[in-house]
Structure 1
Amino acid sequence: MIGNFNLRKIDIFGKNISIRFQQKEKHQTIFGATITFFIYIILAYLMISQFIELFQGNNPKLQYRIQYIEANRIFKIKQNDFYFALALRNNQELPVFDQKIYNITAQQVIGRRTSPESTLTYQFYDIEMEQCNTNSFGYDKLIKLFNVNFNNLYCIKNDQPIIYDIEIGGDIDNTYFSYIQINVNKCQQNINCIDKNDEKYDQYFKNPQLMIYFSDKYFDIQQKGYPFKNISRRLKFNSNDNLLKVINLYLIDNYIVSEEGIINNLKKTTYQNITYSQYEINTNSNTLFQLNIQFEDKQLNFWNRRYLKIEEVLGTLGGSFQSLFTIGIIFCYPISQFDLNRKLINQLFQFQIEKFGKKRKKPYQQQKSQIQNAKLQSNLNNIQQFNQESPKQNQFEQKSSNNCFKYKKYIKKKSIQINQQENQIQQSQSIFIRIKNYIQYSFSLLYSKQLNIENTIQAQKSNQKQNLNQLYLNSLKSQIKKIKFKFIEYIRYLYCPSKQLKIKKLQIQKGKQILYNHLDIFYIIKKITELDKLKTILLNQNQLKLFEYLPKPIIYLNKNSEKGNYQLYQEKKTEEEKAFEAFQAFQEINKDIHKQTELDKKIIEIIDPQILKSFEQQTIDQKRNNHYSPKLVEISLNNQLNSKFSRYQHSQLIQLEAENQKKQENEQNNIDEHKAGYQIDLKQLIFTNQLAQKLQILNKK
């Protein structure tokens, strides 16, 4: 702070403050993410291709223009710049070197004048021509370019003084100009020349053909370092015996400026290429062809070769991104805005969703039917298991009762002989101990099996409870009616409205209108003011002052430490967690109706009627399930234990009966022994009946 000036006010990098939705600064959709992904792919492709072109320099931009200048320029012929050869061709299209038929002469023509108004004076300097050989002017270059027999061609003789001073240039209207003139003449001065009546005369001179072989240069814009290529050119000219063919070869300067380098680097080079023109003159002279080699000093071909620069790459990528981003906004922004409105409206409101055509059951009724079917199936399974055990138990009980009746009759009949069996008491006692141990062992097996059955049933009850809770949760979620849209419906809603979406469109528009009214700044300020008024009504002045200093929530890294913390900033919960907690809270409030406060009753009254109905139905179903399931389990266990105990009792009685019959047949004289045995049987029967009663009492507990 400097005086009254706050330095922070000049910060241009400050972060804008915005309200978040679902912990995000902006709402994002799958459609927008897909379009963004394709934009990134296109930009990546452009970036890779642009950088490849930047470093390789394969496609420069080329500008060409013809520039005319006033200065007189002179070009000095060198072997590396220009070399040529020429000859007449016969009717077999082959060059011929025969001085008896024709000869070629060359000279440098120089024109001078003292002033533009003065008379032009000419000077001629002969240039000797010879049959091409290894010492000829430019022969080593020509032999590489052309596949022809150069021994039949004319070349400039190399070892002559003028060859080093041949200059061409200027203009006839100026004070100085120079060019090379080459004449192709018929043979006349030599006594060995062919006669006009000779066959060869018409072959060469009736329709004479002149071939010129020369080097030229080609500008290859793809070559970055040295853009010139030496190329071979052939020019063929036809004439007539009574005509003079005048051929003008023009050497033209080409000026090339190459902007190379990633940032900027100018490179300037020059080269000459050749153009030509021709015309004919009626004459009776011996000259067939006249070749004039000139330098075009007034014309300049200007080439500007510009390679890609780093700033152009960045500009191209930036422009492409802006274009693609604009296209994406046109398509994605309406869908994103519409989807955001839909989610906000679904969070705040419910809708009465109607279907055209077929009538469907309410989701709550369907879920309730599923819950009842699940409980009914579980109870039927328990009853079926109980019924499967009942016939066996009845059979065992009937056999046991019949055996008991037989034994009562048998014991009564043999009671007279009991006193005679006292000598067998000790032996029967040992048998009784073995039977007692066997019954105790059987009882321990039954007890362990009972525990296993109880654990299994408890696990089944737990799974059944989880399944029922999931069904109740689905039932609760089905009560919340939201507007859902498929992707194709988004497109049809925004760009191609249809009658099928008319109801959804009206619901969205109405919900959006209410939503925007709630998001209005005036509405927000009004609600904040009402909240302050409510605080003044509920709290006095002292309480209001203390209210400002309520403890702030503490952020713990350990979740176990947050138990005593205020639940002002809770973590985001799923719909399942919220529904489960709401149902638990409803059960806690509804546990004791007499202890409900007025606020509890008021909250229950204003709950969504469908959700309240679902909570009440779920509470009733849980109580019913907890009541009937243990009863069925208890009946099933008791029947199983009684059945197994009766089975053990019945087997012991049959064994004792067989032993007594055997003793009666074999030991008729031992009455005392049988008496003791029957007495022990009676005690055993009493013991087993007492043990069965104890097991039944234990099962009830």
Structure 2
Amino acid sequence: MQTFLLFGQIRSMLDDWKQIWNLIFIKIEMINLKQKTIMNKILKYMKSLDIFGQNIQLNFNGQNQYQTATGGFFSLAIIAVIAFFFQQNILNFIHRVDIHLNAQTIFDFNPDRITFNEDNYMFALAVDQTNFNTLPFFNITLKQRTYTRSSDGSLNKQDNFIDLIPCTQDRFQKIFKNQDFSVQFSQLKLEEWLCPQLNYSIQLGGSFTSDIFEFVKITVSECSNNSNSNSILSWKPQCASTQARDRYLQQERSFRIRMYMTNNVINPLQVQNVSQTFLDDETYFSFLLQTGTEADVFYQKYNITTDDNVIPILKKIDEEIINVKRAGDFKTKIVQNNDQQFSAIYLRRSPYTQIVKRELQDISDLLSYLGGFANIVALVFGILIKSYNKSRCIRSITYLVMIDLANYVYDFPTKSISIADSQERKEIKKVIAKARSRTIVKQQGQDQELHSQMQSPKHTQIQLQQNDTKQQELYNISKQDEIYQVKSELQITNRQEEQLLFYQEQEKIILKLGIQDRKSYLTQQIQKILNRSKPILFNCKYILSMVFCSKLFYDRNSILLHKAIKKINQDLDICVVIDTVKEINLIKELLLTKDQLVLFDFAPKQVIDLQEDEKSIMTRSQGSNSLETMRSNSNQKEVQNQNKSIQAYYKLFQAYDHIHKQLQQDNKINEKLIEKLGQEVRDIFDVSHLIQWERKSIKCLKDDMQDDSVNSDPLSINNVEQIKINVKLST
């Protein structure tokens, strides 16, 4: 009992484990299925992100685009226009002329420091009078002042005197590098003016509210001959008398302090010489002995960066700092003078900084500019081309495409059959009718002979059965057989002679029609058919007929063109295409059994290999193209290409010949296929078939008759002699 309980427990445990494993397997399969579903969704989403997807479209004549000679002409015109308008742009790119400019003005309460020295700045000071360097009315001093503001708000002022010395030309010429400053220096008599000391350096930075404020003060003070007060100055002139100063004031009504300085004008659009140096004479101020003038002259900083890289990935940037006093950038005020100062000029740093970024045109900018202009030109010309190529569209098929489709599908005969061709066709029909009637008579005669062959022995056998003796029966049978054999052999000989005469008569008729052989006749007749059919053309008359609502210029070509486009529009309708596909499927179901349909649907795919001897089915369009190829090669020595062109027609004739042989099997489909060729083509193929058959038959008959005449006597003679021998033996 315990054993059975133990066995039951083990069995239940195994069942439980089996269920657990089944659940695990089901869970694993669900996980795998879920992973596959997620992977398929990911792949589907990745496919939707593909920006390189290709459009699926139909081809026409083996091309996925419809191209015309007019489109090629306009394409060349677009290239010419682009080359004409962009030749200067390309030259500018080569000479690095075009510049992209980005200018920005920055305001700062605490502007950074700028430095003036002999390499970038020079100025000259003087009071407007004669002989200023020898007999001055006033003294001029130059100070570099620095105000330092501490954290408690106290202001520490520091002065640094800068000596003034007579100006020389070489110091200005150092600034005017590419200019000759000697003439201007002499005309202005700058040798009588005062310039800062050699190797000077002044700093301008900050503002009055900044922690560090740096500026320069130019002071006009009383002229003194005291050597103690002038000890720090290199310039120690002899002062003019007070009477001379008063006479000048009475005559000029005021004194003026002048300042000539080198300045720069910025031309950021210039590739070379971004800054141009000139002598600025704008700074001069008037003062009196009792009232004076104080002026603040501001200097701006220009930070100019130039990117002159042809390839965008290269980043070689040139930076240039230029200090500029802009026109009118100063402030003046009137003050009460004292004995120590009559006028003052403060050179300060402007709170405005100009940031100029220059980028010379690189190759990417040139290509984008060319591409944009090319797209605009292509759009303008494209409107003209589309207006020429299309009128009414069906599924984005243009007008000229529909015309070519119409020429590909339909025939448009433009010439009627001539009288000579009509007479030739009548003669051909007579030959064909006579040949067919002769064939029918021969077939009937053969049938009657076959019938007589079957009836004569039977009739003899019936008569012999009525005889009483078996010997008489055998004798009569042998006698009748011999007579029948002689008659049949005589008839065969006569029929061969008649057939030979008939074939010779047919050959004379064929030669009379000018037919040399089947090859030349077939090619000549096909050429005549294709020559009478010319394609319709899209011309100006059709456009004018549309403009005048078919009242004017509505000629034969316009009528055919209108009908062809209307017909091709109907044939290209999607409903017609779907109905045609359904009809094809219905024909498959009617002509094929279920087993045949299964075999048809699972037919092997077409094999494409490296060999190029692929055979194609003959079509009307291929025949036309082959004929054109044969014509184009007619004046050349390319015999191989001509043979290929002629073989295209022979394939069609061979197909007709094979189907024509199967007409005796009462095949309605073959009869309808032959009827679709048309009466004219059928007549041509019938004559070609007749030529082929008659020539072979005549040759065989002649060979047979020659062999019989040479090797032995005629069959009929042998049979007659044998009859005579048999009669003698019987008697």
Shorter-chain TM-score: what band?
0.5 to 0.7
Q: Is the 8 A contact 1:252 1:295 kept in 2?
A: no
146-155 vs 225-234, which moves further = 225-234
User: Residues 259 and 512 from structure 1, CA distance in 2 versus in 1: closer, same or farther, beyond 3 angstroms?
Assistant: same
Tell me the distance in 2 between the aligned counterparts of 1:70 and 1:184: 32
Equivalent residue number for residue 523 of structure 1? 576
User: Is residue 219 from structure 1 mapped to residue 269 from structure 2 by the alignment?
Assistant: no
User: Residues 89 and 363 from structure 1, CA distance in 2 versus in 1: closer, same or farther, beyond 3 angstroms?
Assistant: farther
Equivalent residue number for residue 347 of structure 2? 294
Tell me the distance in 2 between the aligned counterparts of 1:571 and 1:513: 21
- 1:420-465 CA distances to partner (integer Å, 9 max, x unpaired)? xxxxxxxxxxxxxxxxxxxxxxxxxxxxxxxxxxxxxx9xx999x9
Which amino acid in the other structure matches residue 180 of structure 1?
K
User: Residues 307 and 580 from structure 1, CA distance in 2 versus in 1: closer, same or farther, beyond 3 angstroms?
Assistant: same
User: Is residue 153 from structure 1 mapped to residue 192 from structure 2 by the alignment?
Assistant: yes
User: Is residue 332 from structure 1 mapped to residue 385 from structure 2 by the alignment?
Assistant: yes
User: Residues 66 and 535 from structure 1, CA distance in 2 versus in 1: closer, same or farther, beyond 3 angstroms?
Assistant: closer
Partner residue of 1:252 out of 276, 287, 300 = 300
Which amino acid in the other structure matches residue 255 of structure 1?
N
Secondary structure, aligned partner of 1:178: strand
Structure 2 unmatched ranges of 5 or more: 1-32, 227-237, 391-397, 426-510, 628-644, 692-731
Q: CA deviation at 1:472?
A: 6.6
Partner residue of 1:181 out of 190, 211, 218 = 218
Q: CA deviation at 1:499?
A: 4.0
Tell me the distance in 2 between the aligned counterparts of 1:293 and 1:558: 95
Partner residue of 2:624 out of 560, 564, 574 = 574
User: Is residue 106 from structure 1 mapped to residue 167 from structure 2 by the alignment?
Assistant: no
Q: Is the 8 A contact 2:148 2:157 kept in 1?
A: no
Equivalent residue number for residue 272 of structure 1? 323
> How do residues 119-130 of structure 1 correspond to structure 2 at under 5 angstroms?
126-130=161-165
User: Is residue 79 from structure 1 mapped to residue 118 from structure 2 by the alignment?
Assistant: yes
Which amino acid in the other structure matches residue 622 of structure 2?
K
> How do residues 190-589 of structure 1 correspond to structure 2 at under 5 angstroms?
193=241, 195-196=243-244, 201=248, 205=252, 212-221=259-268, 227-235=274-282, 237=284, 248-261=296-309, 262-263=312-313, 265=315, 267-275=318-326, 277=328, 290=343, 292-309=345-362, 311-333=364-386, 335=389, 337-350=398-411, 363-365=416-418, 476-477=529-530, 479-480=532-533, 482-486=535-539, 488=540, 499-500=551-552, 508=561, 511-535=564-588, 537-538=590-591, 567=617, 572-574=622-624, 576=627
User: Residues 321 and 511 from structure 1, CA distance in 2 versus in 1: closer, same or farther, beyond 3 angstroms?
Assistant: same
Q: CA deviation at 1:554?
A: 8.3
Q: CA deviation at 1:302?
A: 2.2
**TM-score scaled to structure 1, two decimals?**
0.54
User: Residues 583 and 283 from structure 1, CA distance in 2 versus in 1: closer, same or farther, beyond 3 angstroms?
Assistant: same
Equivalent residue number for residue 64 of structure 1? 103
Q: CA deviation at 1:66?
A: 2.4
- 1:282-334 CA distances to partner (integer Å, 9 max, x unpaired)? 98999999462412342212222233355544544554454444445433345
Q: Is the 8 A contact 1:70 1:298 kept in 2?
A: yes
Which amino acid in the other structure matches residue 344 of structure 1?
L
Tell me the distance in 1 between the aligned counterparts of 2:153 and 2:55: 85
Tell me the distance in 1 between the aligned counterparts of 2:144 and 2:424: 118
Tell me the distance in 1 between the aligned counterparts of 2:62 and 2:155: 95
Q: CA deviation at 1:69?
A: 0.7
> How do residues 595-674 of structure 1 correspond to structure 2 at under 5 angstroms?
none
Q: CA deviation at 1:105?
A: 0.6
Secondary structure, aligned partner of 1:275: coil
**TM-score scaled to structure 2, two decimals?**
0.52
Q: Is the 8 A contact 2:268 2:356 kept in 1?
A: no
Q: Is the 8 A contact 1:108 1:127 kept in 2?
A: yes
Tell me the distance in 2 between the aligned counterparts of 1:462 and 1:290: 126
Q: CA deviation at 1:525?
A: 4.3
251-260 vs 96-105, which moves further = 96-105
Q: Is the 8 A contact 2:110 2:351 kept in 1?
A: yes
526-535 vs 183-192, which moves further = 183-192
Tell me the distance in 2 between the aligned counterparts of 1:320 and 1:276: 41
> Relative contact order (C-alpha < 8 Å, sep 6+): which is higher?
1
Identity among equivalent pairs (%): 16
Q: CA deviation at 1:85?
A: 1.5
Q: CA deviation at 1:103?
A: 4.3
User: Residues 328 and 133 from structure 1, CA distance in 2 versus in 1: closer, same or farther, beyond 3 angstroms?
Assistant: closer
Q: CA deviation at 1:276?
A: 5.2
Secondary structure, aligned partner of 2:74: helix
